Amino acid sequence: GAGVSQTPSNKVTEKGKYVELRCDPISGHTALYWYRQSLGQGPEFLIYFQGTGAADDSGLPNDRFFAVRPEGSVSTLKIQRTERGDSAVYLCASSPTSGQPQHFGDGTRLSIL
């Protein structure tokens, strides 16, 4: 389809493991955002890319979290040494450029046991 695609849709793993979450934005969208959403809360900003570079990563909670977008399209959010508190829905969004309305993917529901 033409929308934002996120994989996997669900991920269950054990504490301490490494996970990668993938986002395929809408074709031609240069801005890509990662958010984390917990139950009853709005999406919490993590990082955004304008093209290939991370324009702002101030929302990443600590150095266990890292994201890349090497070719300016697909992005991967990487979490090392996962903790139970990392359990949440991870949302990706893209927009034609920064500051414009965003289109969200369905999210990845991450559960750390």
Contact pick of 25, 107, 110, 112 for other proteins (by CB under 8 A): 107
CB–CB of 62/111 below 8 Å?
no
**To the nearest whole angstrom, how small is the minimum distance from the Cβ of residue 66 to other proteins?**
18
Instruction: Print burial letters for 88-102: b (CB count within 10 Å at least 16), e (below 16).
Output: bbbbbbbbeeeeeeb
Cβ-count burial of 18 within 10 angstroms (0-12 exposed, 13-18 middle, 19+ buried)?
A: exposed
25 scored as a contact of other proteins (CB under 8 A): no
113 scored as a contact of other proteins (CB under 8 A): no
20 scored as a contact of other proteins (CB under 8 A): no
Kindly tell me which of 66 and 104 has the beta carbon lying closer to other proteins.
104
103 scored as a contact of other proteins (CB under 8 A): yes
- Scan for tokens 């301490």, then name that residue: 16
What is the chain's alpha carbon radius of gyration, rounded to the nearest angstrom?
13
By CB under 8 A, the residues from 29 to 68 that bind other proteins are 31, 33, 35, 40-45, 48, 50, 55-56, 58-59
* Bridge partner list, 100: none
Binding site for other proteins (CB under 8 A): 31, 33, 35, 40-45, 48, 50, 55-56, 58-59, 91, 98-99, 101-107
